[in-house]
């Protein structure tokens, strides 16, 4: 039911939690935690990378500094005493800037005070959205691979995730991962509340075309569902791809919750500032959850991000186009190094992640069938120790039933300095010694 994770880790983490709580109190933990674990690919692979001094192309956080204008704006905010709680639904300067920035893309005027909520990152936006719309017993359809907090949010709300995997039958581009609309429709039941999509999708970097989104929209409307559209990677699209907002399609704004992240847009993942744009009745419901979880997102970063969007509007309208160009160079560099090392990349149309095919590496070096551990996990652990590069096993973003679909891949991120990608690329060349 929950994401595929190394089951040994999961069980030991739960046992550890139970033992600790038993020494303090005999009262058990909430049952909703029964199938959840403190362990994840993030808690495993970043410490492992540090332990082996590996170059970390695992977790997607930039290792380069954010632009000076955004750093200056944050320090000015702190120095100018913007250090107290701000408006709970979103700092006024930021909601105004977000509405001004996004209205055109939505093809309508976004009301900054009623249709925008600012939260502690897209992560809280996703949590609050699910809490606001999912009743116990409701089903939410996830497209695999999904971002790993989606199914957990649904389970915490008492709902059930239903999985529809992207299908891949070969090819070298993320557009070769396709959504089968019959499968999508077959997953809908009378209990279905919403479909969640992520475009550009982390992973494989798929940017849904207008035609694909129109089909999804048609299904959503015909079955009277909500659409949750996670668009945190919207500023990073490459080649001929264009990001289309599902909420901009006819009659979709009323039923779509669009989620974004300043952490991704401005390379400040530690600021944990994200937003929801949705019609007033949905925005208000999401705000009610946020008001009682965090009350407000932090003020100085909201002020700084507002300054950032205002600056883009007034002085630098091509800012995000140029950002995409910079990331595209990094993408091309990493894909080139992966190809040369024998790990064929699936070239992403968007986001800053790339899937690489590990099937040419001789499994005798890293795979122990008897261990019961998924192939991509075993490869990713071996890669850190033997080659000195950290990547993420993508089956962490699949349900158990579908994890096998991605066992021949690992995920690398390229939101790194060119020199980091070059150094990792050099280390990866050692893989040539291990190819079949
Ligand atoms: C698809 C997707 N959604 C949401 C998030 C969370 O974003 P934030 O850091 O703003 O909470 C991430 C972070 O990696 C992501 O990849």
CA of 272 to the centre of ligand 1 (A): 9
- For residue 151, give the H/E element and its range: helix 149-156
pLDDT at 26: 75
CA distances from 189 to 142, 154, 217, 223, 369 (A): 14, 16, 17, 9, 37
pLDDT at 28: 83
Question: Is the Cβ–Cβ distance between 196 and 159 less than 8 Å?
Answer: no
| Domain map (residue ranges) of the chain | 40-60+320-434, 68-315
pLDDT in tens, 88-136: 999 999 999 999 999 999 999 999 999 999 999 999 999 999 999 999 9
Q: Whose CA is nearest to atom 7 of ligand 1?
A: 122
Using most ligand atoms within 8 A of CB, pick from 147, 243, 394 the residue to mutate for ligand 1: 147
Q: Which atom of ligand 1 is nearest to the CA of 264?
A: 10
CA distances from 420 to 48, 62, 325, 330 (A): 18, 11, 18, 10
CA of 33 to the centre of ligand 1 (A): 22
Question: Is the Cβ–Cβ distance between 89 and 115 less than 8 Å?
Answer: no
CA of 217 to the centre of ligand 1 (A): 23
Q: Which atom of ligand 1 is nearest to the CA of 202?
A: 1
CATH class of segment(s) 40-60+320-434:
alpha beta
SS (H, E, C) 176-243: HEECCHHHHHHCCCCCEEEEEEECCECCCCECCCHHHHHHHHHHHHHCCCEEEEECCCCCCECCCCCC
CA of 125 to the centre of ligand 1 (A): 10
pLDDT at 6: 47
CA of 231 to the centre of ligand 1 (A): 9
User: Which CATH code is given to the segment(s) 68-315?
Assistant: 3.40.640.10
Collect the ranges in the chain with pLDDT lower than 70: 1-23
pLDDT at 137: 97
Contacts of 229 (CB under 8 A, 6+ apart): 196, 197, 198, 199, 245, 246, 247, 256, 257, 258, 259
Q: Which atom of ligand 1 is nearest to the CA of 123?
A: 11
Q: Whose CA is nearest to atom 2 of ligand 1?
A: 147
CA of 145 to the centre of ligand 1 (A): 14
Tokens for 236, please give them.
Answer: 């990073």
The DSSP-derived string for 362-378 is -GGGT--GGG---HHHH
Using most ligand atoms within 8 A of CB, pick from 263, 267, 302, 396 the residue to mutate for ligand 1: 263
Q: How far apart are the first and last CA of the chain?
A: 35
Whose CA is closest to 95, among 232, 267, 255, 274?
A: 274
pLDDT at 14: 45
Q: Is 1 helix (H, G, I), strand (E, B) or coil?
A: coil
DSSP 385: I
CA of 104 to the centre of ligand 1 (A): 24
Question: Is the Cβ–Cβ distance between 350 and 236 less than 8 Å?
Answer: yes
Q: Is 264 helix (H, G, I), strand (E, B) or coil?
A: helix
pLDDT at 9: 40
- For residue 56, give the H/E element and its range: strand 55-56
């Amino acid at each position: 039911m929950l994401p595929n994770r190394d089951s040994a880790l999961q069980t030991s983490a739960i046992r550890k939690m139970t033992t600790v709580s038993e020494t303090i109190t005999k009262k058990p933990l909430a049952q909703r935690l029964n199938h959840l674990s403190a362990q994840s690919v993030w808690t495993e692979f970043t410490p492992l990378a540090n332990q082996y001094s590996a170059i970390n192309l695992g977790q997607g956080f930039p290792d380069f500094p954010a632009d000076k204008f955004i750093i200056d704006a944050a320090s000015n905010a702190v120095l100018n005493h913007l250090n107290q709680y701000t408006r709970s639904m979103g700092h006024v300067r930021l909601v105004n800037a977000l509405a001004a920035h996004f209205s055109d893309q939505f093809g309508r005027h976004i009301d900054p005070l009623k249709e925008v909520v600012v939260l502690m990152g897209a992560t809280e936006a996703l949590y609050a959205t699910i809490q606001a719309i999912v009743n116990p017993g409701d089903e939410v359809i996830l497209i695999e691979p999904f971002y790993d907090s989606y199914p957990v949010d649904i389970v915490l709300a008492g709902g059930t995730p239903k999985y529809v995997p992207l299908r891949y039958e070969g090819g070298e581009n993320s557009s070769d991962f396709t959504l089968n609309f019959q499968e999508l429709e077959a997953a809908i039941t009378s209990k279905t509340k919403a479909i969640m999509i992520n475009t550009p999708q982390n992973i494989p970097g798929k940017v849904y075309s207008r035609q694909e989104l129109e089909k999804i929209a048609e299904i959503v409307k015909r079955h009277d569902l909500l659409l949750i559209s996670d668009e945190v990677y919207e500023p990073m699209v490459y080649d001929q791809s264009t990001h289309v907002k599902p909420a901009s399609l006819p009659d979709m704004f009323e039923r779509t919750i669009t989620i974004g992240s300043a952490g991704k847009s401005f390379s400040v993942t530690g600021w944990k500032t994200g937003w929801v744009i949705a019609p007033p009745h949905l925005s208000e419901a999401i705000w009610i959850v946020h008001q009682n979880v965090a009350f407000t997102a932090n003020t100085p970063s909201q002020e700084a991000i507002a300054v950032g969007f205002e600056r883009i509007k007034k002085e630098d309208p091509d800012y995000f186009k140029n950002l995409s160009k910079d990331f595209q160079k990094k993408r091309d560099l990493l894909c080139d190094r992966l190809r040369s090392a024998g790990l064929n990349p699936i070239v992403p149309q968007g986001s800053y992640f790339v899937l690489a095919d590990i099937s040419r590496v001789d499994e005798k070096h890293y795979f122990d069938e008897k261990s019961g551990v998924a192939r991509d996990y075993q490869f990713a652990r071996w890669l850190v120790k033997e080659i000195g590069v950290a990547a993420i096993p993508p089956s962490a973003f699949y349900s158990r039933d579908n994890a096998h679909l991605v066992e021949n891949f690992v995920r690398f991120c390229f939101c790194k300095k060119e020199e980091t990608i070059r150094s990792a690329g050099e280390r990866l060349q050692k893989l040539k010694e291990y190819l079949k």
